[in-house]
Structure 1
Amino acid sequence: MNATPSATSTERAAQALTEGGLVLMPTETVYGLAADAANPRAVAAVYEAKGRPSFNPLIAHVADLEMARRIARFDARAEALAARFWPGPLTLVLPVADEAAVCDLARAGFDTVAVRAPAHPMAHALIAALGRPVVAPSANRSGRPSPTTFPDAVEETGAAAAAALDGGPCAVGLESTVVALLDRPRLLRPGAVTRAQIEAVIGPLAEAEDDAKRSPGRLARHYAPNAPVRLEATGPHPGEAWLSFGPGGDGPWNLSPTGELAEAAANLFAYLRGADRTHPVGIAVAPIPHEGLGEAINDRLKRAAGFVG
């Protein structure tokens, strides 16, 4: 493998996937380390490159709803959510329809499959060129902040990639929302598609309970820099980096000078990574509102600090 892959064409990246290789793939959420979802050897290579536990399932990324219907069983709720939010940052956990298309290892042995259609044009083009789903967990080493820029993706897992697509900075900056539709609809992971938006389409969401294991990103310490993270801070301690928020916030890492949650989400992982490089003593983070997209931002911050589990 190339230790520092340079950006390549969609056709070359699709060929790498066909040959069982891994590809750095941009999405609107974060950069992913993509592999052919049907190839157990390639999927195993993803787990190895990330140092990811194999009990943690992967999301199958599809080009469109037609491809999704071939691998998952859609009910009326799933159809409604896909119609409203796809392509986009929403993953649906559904009963699996074709176990060969998304191999057992990718599903962590479950009889369900997590599926989404990413909105990034490069991701869509790559999956369409391959003609079948790809798994594409965030292109970080397991537990680290997800990469939202091409250089950060290369730094994290570029040594394992046979090809790479440079799609620029990720627009959303947080991993997709995950909803399970197995009995009662359950929110397994908050994201840019908010709880309120989902409930407006299919009604109330139950809490994750036992279904949480069917979703990635649920480890107690996840998305974590090397430096300790301190939340709900009013300012930095000596030697700490300061991730401020809102008008008047000082320092180079104001997540959103305007107080916009979408801007804060887009900046979160890049700023955590930047602060980690320069302030190994610690990172202090200002309070972030909890409503709407703030639910997802605070979820990632709590896991970065090891406060969930």
Structure 2
Amino acid sequence: MSLVVSPSKVFRVAEVILEGGIAFAPTDTIYGLLANALDRRAVERLFAIRRPSGRPFLLLIPQEDWIEELGLIIGPRQRKLLSLGITLVIPKRTSVPLYLTRGRKSLAVRLPSSTAGFIRDLLKVVGVPLVAPSANPEGLKPATSVKEGMAYFGRRVNIYVDAGKIVGKPSTIVRLIGYRSVRLVREGNVPFREVLRFLSS
């Protein structure tokens, strides 16, 4: 049977994830499904229940130096964008595991903003990147509550974190071009004009 806990139970959620489980929990934008990105078995299990199409998942990272740990290529100016809490699609080196990239030449990564509360605390405790797709089966709307999440996933998710109803904007996504510029993929929580202004400052 799946557990339902409050956001105060960060250590319990971390324990489940580090044991290979999947969590339904609030991120810095909307509810997401979380698994240890360094645990291939957990990631493959999440692909099976969330995205059979095989497209790669977003990674949430605990701190900036995971960019290098993951073998991603980013310019100094582009690196500043991590502080905006937006998703960066970053070119990868050949060392990045195939189970994360699904054959793509880049990986989507986000460092949640310092005001993100639960997800920042969770990342600090687990100390590893988390794969973090939105909490919905492919083609359906993201769950805005634990009730909706349970209707989608039931016991296939090991632990649910109930932070009430969350109806937020998904993150803005930009693709890094070379070492200095970016291209908009999706506008979300941060206007693209603000991204460009920040990049040129």
Aligned to 1:70: 69
Return the alpha-carbon distance in structure 2 between the equivalents of residues 21 and 68 of structure 1. 24
Return the alpha-carbon distance in structure 2 between the equivalents of residues 112 and 167 of structure 1. 32
Output one character per residue of 1:219-269: Cα deviation in whole Å (capped at 9) or x when no partner: xxxxxxxxxxxxxxxxxxxxxxxxxxxxxxxxxxxxxxxxxxxxxxxxxxx
Output one character per residue of 1:182-225: Cα deviation in whole Å (capped at 9) or x when no partner: 3352111221111211121236xxxxxxxxxxxxxxxxxxxxxx
Return the alpha-carbon distance in structure 2 between the equivalents of residues 176 and 202 of structure 1. 17
Aligned to 2:136: 140
SS at match of 1:185: strand
Aligned to 1:174: 169
SS at match of 2:134: coil
Alignment of 1:1-309 (within 5 A): 2=1, 4-7=2-5, 9-54=9-54, 56-71=55-70, 72-83=72-83, 85=84, 88=85, 90-96=86-92, 99=95, 103-119=97-113, 120-170=116-166, 173-183=168-178, 184-202=181-199
Letter in 2 for 1:62: I
Return the alpha-carbon distance in structure 2 between the equivalents of residues 51 and 202 of structure 1. 32
Letter in 2 for 1:176: S
Return the alpha-carbon distance in structure 1 between the equivalents of residues 66 and 15 of structure 2. 19
Q: CA deviation at 1:75?
A: 0.9
SS at match of 2:27: coil
Return the alpha-carbon distance in structure 2 between the equivalents of residues 165 and 97 of structure 1. 35
Count how many residue pairs are aligned between Structure 1 and Structure 2. 193
Contact 1:177 1:189 in 2 (8 A): yes
The two structures have a TM-score, normalised by structure 1, of: 0.57
Return the alpha-carbon distance in structure 1 between the equivalents of residues 94 and 62 of structure 2. 16
Kindly tell me: are residues 99 and 135 of structure 1, through their superposed partners in 2, closer, same or farther at Cα, counting changes over 3 Å?
A: farther
Return the alpha-carbon distance in structure 1 between the equivalents of residues 105 and 197 of structure 2. 28
Identity %: 27
More divergent stretch after superposition (106-115 vs 14-23): 106-115
Letter in 2 for 1:107: T
Any unmatched runs of 5+ in structure 2?
Answer: none
Return the alpha-carbon distance in structure 2 between the equivalents of residues 47 and 122 of structure 1. 24
SS at match of 2:128: coil
More divergent stretch after superposition (132-141 vs 43-52): 43-52
Q: Which is greater in Rg?
A: 1
Q: CA deviation at 1:96?
A: 2.8
Contact 1:10 1:165 in 2 (8 A): no
Q: CA deviation at 1:31?
A: 0.8
Q: CA deviation at 1:151?
A: 2.4
The two structures have a TM-score, normalised by structure 2, of: 0.85
Return the alpha-carbon distance in structure 2 between the equivalents of residues 181 and 51 of structure 1. 24
Return the alpha-carbon distance in structure 2 between the equivalents of residues 64 and 98 of structure 1. 22
Return the alpha-carbon distance in structure 1 between the equivalents of residues 101 and 153 of structure 2. 21
Contact 1:150 1:168 in 2 (8 A): yes
Q: CA deviation at 1:48?
A: 1.2
Higher strand share: 2
Kindly tell me: are residues 197 and 187 of structure 1, through their superposed partners in 2, closer, same or farther at Cα, counting changes over 3 Å?
A: same
Q: CA deviation at 1:97?
A: 5.6
Question: Which one has more relative contact order, counting CA pairs under 8 Å at least 6 apart?
Answer: 2
Q: CA deviation at 1:180?
A: 0.9
Kindly tell me: are residues 64 and 169 of structure 1, through their superposed partners in 2, closer, same or farther at Cα, counting changes over 3 Å?
A: farther
